Amino acid sequence: MNPSFDYITYGAEATSREVTQLLRHLLDRAFAPSQLPTANRPLPSPLCIWGRHGIGKTELVEEIARELGCRLAYLSPAQFEEMGDLVGMPQIAGEATRFVPPDWAPREDGPGILLIDDVNRADDRILRGLMPLLQRHELVSWKLPPRWQIVLTANPDGGDYSVTPLDDSLITRMLHVTMSWDLPSWAAWAERTGIDARGIQFVLTYPELVSGERTTPRTLVQFFRQLEGLGDLKRELGLVKMLAEASLDRETAAAFLSFVQRQLHQLILPEEILQAPDFAAVENRLKKLYEQETQRVDLLSVICTRLIHYAQRPDIQLNSLHLENLERFLTIEWIPGDLRFAMAQELVQSDAAALRQLIGRPAIGKLLLQ
């Protein structure tokens, strides 16, 4: 149990990357063909992912299902008013009454994930009705097919969340982990998903504004989606203000408007650095950005982070020019050494084979050995 800021969650606190690693491990076990007869197979333990609203718990499960190409059945028990919504409706067949399974109940063998979303926003009666599903993978009217994994999401108990406390009998039927928002994982996801570059740069510049009265990673993404198609944000400042205040709290909206007015949204893009035919021109732009009244290490850090994640995108085919420009960037002597070292270290440990080749370049090897 993790009591913190009046919130109660369960399991280890983990980043989205760590939660992904845990869930993939469980799915590998659940999806593996078993040599045992069906009656003797141990049932996969359900996993409950705890965390504050809007940090991407549901999206993480959905993304993993897409990547694995497995089935995904979605269940929101908070919408259920009666037990019939969960177990199905009775039907008279001759002299017997049997229950007809609900339409959402999985019927085909896995691999598949049954996602029970916001489980503790359900009524207590519905929670009690879920217990046989969590323990035996079956209800009175239907049984979960083989090679399915149950995953639940839940908001913290206590604080300002309107949730139904889970009793020990429910808690002990599940594995638990608490997902926390972390900047590197979010930035990599946003780059991979194609979130507006100006939005990514804002979050990297002001990560402390991600959590507010109305601001969450989810509402930020909702806002950034509305910026797509808007060219010059400074010229459209009135519209940008309305869009920001439609999704975010006033503090975050004001910070984004200031970000636009100071033209920080026009930072050099990763593709401009990688594709530059004249790298000296790019370096001059970087130096002007850095050498202001106070040296803007924070802006260089944003550019480095975006460059790391952009270069690792699976849809980016790195060529010799890209790698040469990466080497030139990493060997700019006026960029603080710790920034360049951390960036080089992450790139050479990447899953992308082209990036791992950087370690064979003498200048990069020297940087990593310093």
Nearest-angstrom CA–CA distance, 129 and 126: 5
| Interval 28-60: pLDDT, tens | 999 988 655 565 678 899 999 999 888 889 999
Instruction: Output the pLDDT for position 1.
Output: 46
On whether the CB atoms of residues 56 and 49 are closer than 8 A, the answer is: no
Q: Are residues 131 and 49 in the same domain?
A: yes
First CA to last CA distance, the chain: 43
Say if pTM beats, i.e. exceeds, 0.85: no
Nearest-angstrom CA–CA distance, 105 and 217: 31
Q: Are residues 304 and 364 in the same domain?
A: yes
Query: Where does a domain end: 212, 238, 264?
Result: 264
Instruction: Using pLDDT thresholds of 50, 70 and 90, give the confidence band for residue 229.
Output: confident
Residue 210: CB partners within 8 Å, gap ≥ 6? 181, 183, 203, 216, 217, 220
Q: What one-character DSSP code corresponds to residue 148?
A: E
Task: Tell me, rounded to whole angstroms, the distance of Cα 131 from its chain centroid.
Answer: 28
Nearest-angstrom CA–CA distance, 304 and 306: 6
Q: Are residues 149 and 109 in the same domain?
A: yes
17-31, 134-148, 355-369: which is most confident: 17-31
Query: Where does a domain end: 131, 154, 180?
Result: 180
Q: Are residues 21 and 170 in the same domain?
A: yes
Q: Are residues 131 and 37 in the same domain?
A: yes
Fill in the amino acid letter for 360: G
Fill in the amino acid letter for 223: F
Q: Are residues 143 and 172 in the same domain?
A: yes
On whether the CB atoms of residues 257 and 202 are closer than 8 A, the answer is: no
Q: Are residues 236 and 306 in the same domain?
A: no
Query: Where does a domain end: 264, 283, 311?
Result: 264
Write out the residue range of the structural domain in which residue 277 sits.
267-370
Average pLDDT over residues 134-150: 89
Instruction: Output the pLDDT for position 6.
Output: 64
Instruction: Output the pLDDT for position 174.
Output: 94
CA angle centred on 234, ends 232 and 235, rounded to 5°: 70
Average pLDDT over residues 234-241: 91
| Interval 184-214: pLDDT, tens | 888 888 888 889 989 998 998 888 888 877 8
Average pLDDT over residues 56-69: 94
On whether the CB atoms of residues 182 and 147 are closer than 8 A, the answer is: no
CATH code of the domain in which 133 resides: 3.40.50.300
On whether the CB atoms of residues 10 and 178 are closer than 8 A, the answer is: yes
Q: Are residues 62 and 89 in the same domain?
A: yes
Structurally, the chain folds into a number of domains equal to 3
Q: Are residues 166 and 188 in the same domain?
A: no
Average pLDDT over residues 128-145: 88
Instruction: Output the pLDDT for position 37.
Output: 52
Question: Which string of DSSP letters, residue by residue, matches 209-225?
Answer: GSSSSS--HHHHHHHHH
